Structures are given as C-alpha cells and as structure tokens.
Amino acid sequence: MRPGRDPGLLADLPRLAVLGLGAVIILAPYLWMLSASLKPGSEIFSDSLSLLPQRLYAWENFSKAFREVPLLRFLLNGVLVCAVILFFQLLFAVPCAYALAKLRFRGRETIFALVLAGLLIPAHVPALPIYAGLAATGLLDSYTALVAPFVISVFGIFMFRQAFRSLPEELIHAARIDGMGEMSIVWRVVLPNAWPTATAFATFSIVAHWNDLFWPLVVVQHEALATPALGVLFFRAEEAGNDVGALMAASVVVTAPMVAFFLAAQRRFIQGVATAGLKG
C-alpha cells in the first residue's frame, strides 16, 4: 500500500517475484503458441517441455498455414471491416455528440435519454432481428452485413459528448463569428480539440471489432469474407486444423498485428479500452 519510501532492490524482490510469476502465467499461452509454431510435429508430440525447437520448422508451419486458408485475406478483411466501422461510427456519432453537448434545442433531453438507454443494451440483443432483416433483403454474407449493426456507437456518442462539454463556449462562438457553419465547426474545431478522446475511442472500437467473433460467425458463410477471428475457426475446420504446428502458426499470424499495435501504443490502448469500460 504505497509506503512513502522507495525500497531498495533487495526489499523490492518479493514484490517483483510475485508479479513476475503472474506475468509468466499470463505470457505462457503466447510463448507456447510461438514455440509450437516453430517446431515440427514430432517435437510437439515428444515428451519435452523445452520451448526452443531442436529443428527449426517455422517455414514449413507458416507456409502451410498461408496455403491452407487465405490468412492475408482474413487480415485484410479485418482491417477493412474495422476501418469502415470506425469511419461510420465517427461520421454518425461526432455530430450528434456535438449537438447534445453544445446546442440548445427541444428534444435534447429525449435524445440523450435514448442514448443512455442504448448504452444498456448489449450488441447481442438486436442481432436476431437484424439478421432476419439482412436475410430478407438478401444482404447476408457480405461486407455490408459485417459492418451494418455497428455503424452506430451509442458509446461513441456518450464519450464524445462528455469530451465536447468541457470545450469552452468561446471557441465555438469565435468559429461562428469567423463564418463557419455548424458542420465545419464539428469537424474543424470541435473534433481536433478532443483528439485524446478520439484516439481512445478509435482504439477501443478497433480492438472490439477486430476481436469480435459472434457477429461474423452469424452472418458470414464464405471463407473469402472471414475476419481474423472467424478465420481461425475456418482453419480449425480444415484438415490442417489437426496439424498443431500449422494451427499455432496461423494463430500467431492473426494475433500478431493487434499485439504489435498494442505494444507500440500501450498508453493510448489501455486508456481507450479502460475508459470505454461502460460498454464493451
């Protein structure tokens, strides 16, 4: 409990040891996944606990993974879907958040109440009716279907509204006097001044949709449309799914981008995902 003094390394050792042990357990699946992706099957099935491969089999495992399923395609699908979702979320949520935060109009309280109501509903709840709707319009198994339910983020509206409220009124008044319309105020004055919120929201949104399995599993049948999360399931369904080395190689490939992204921008990530706790 935060003692006021800074302990020496020796006194600090028990703390570091406990945390280190926990860290090893947390990292264990990553290490074994990576290790198995480098080993030939014979070594994976042998009785050894060694992490390092005796014979490097990385090329075979990874090339098999890329051969069996279009891993690159999955990754590109993931990037595309996340980007389009984020684009629409910002396009819809930011102007609405600005109106709720800075404009006075009849109905504002009602709109905000609806937003709060939306916050309470998990994304799985509207899934069935939306699915039925997409089926009726023949839009299942398409990029549209992958993106559609997520173009509105009530959480985004909420988060941006909180951020915009703290912007000074003078800033907006000055922009109006300079001749800007409300739309340009939103994109050229208000949003650039809430940049930390925007990046936090973006990381939250990207992590959520990159990792989402439920919705792609519901709407996608064709391998060509699979996102990384769904791609893993497709791979396991293939014959190669029984090849542990190749399966681990595929897992490494789909896990790596987000992990690398995270390690590069840790602070923003943690801030984004943690502040977005309200609705995940």
Partner 1 sequence: MPEAPLPRFAAPPPARFALSEAAAAWLLSAPAMLSLFLLLLGPSLALIALSFTDWELGAGGLTWIGLGNYAELLEDRTFLAALRNTLLYVALVMPSSIGLGLLIALLVEGGKRLRATFRAIYFLPVVSLLVAMATAWQYLLHPTIGPVNRLLALFGVAPINWLGSSDWVLLSLCAIGLWENLGYVVVLFMAGLTAIPSELYAAAEMDGARSPWARFRLVTWPLLGPTTLFVVTITAIRCLRVFDTVAALTDGGPNNASEVLLHVMYKEGFTYFRIGYSAAITAVFLAVVLALMLIQTRILDRRIHYA
Structure tokens at 31: 């290490």
C-beta of 117: minimal distance to partner 1 in Å? 7
Other beta carbons within 10 Å of 44: 20
C-beta of 260: minimal distance to partner 1 in Å? 11
Nearer to partner 1, 168 or 221 (CB): 221
Other beta carbons within 10 Å of 67: 11
Nearer to partner 1, 80 or 151 (CB): 151
C-beta of 67: minimal distance to partner 1 in Å? 18
C-beta of 263: minimal distance to partner 1 in Å? 7
C-beta of 224: minimal distance to partner 1 in Å? 18
Nearer to partner 1, 67 or 126 (CB): 126
Nearer to partner 1, 149 or 163 (CB): 149
DSSP 191-228: GGGGHHHHHHHHHHHHHHHHH--HHHHHH--SGGG--H
232, 33 in Cβ contact below 8 A?
no
Structure tokens at 198: 């925007």
188, 180 in Cβ contact below 8 A?
yes
C-beta of 211: minimal distance to partner 1 in Å? 5
Phi then psi for 72, rounded to 5 degrees? -60, -40
How many angstroms separate the CA atoms of 149 and 215, rounded?
9
Cα dihedral 218, 142, 97, 112, rounded to 10, equals: -40
Nearer to partner 1, 157 or 198 (CB): 157
CA-to-CA dists, residue 236 to 42, 68, 187, 248, 250, angstroms? 20, 10, 44, 10, 10
Nearer to partner 1, 83 or 270 (CB): 270
How many angstroms separate the CA atoms of 199 and 82, rounded?
14
C-beta of 220: minimal distance to partner 1 in Å? 11
Nearer to partner 1, 56 or 270 (CB): 270
Distance in angstroms between the alpha carbons of the first and the last residue of the chain: 30
> How many residues are present in the chain?
280
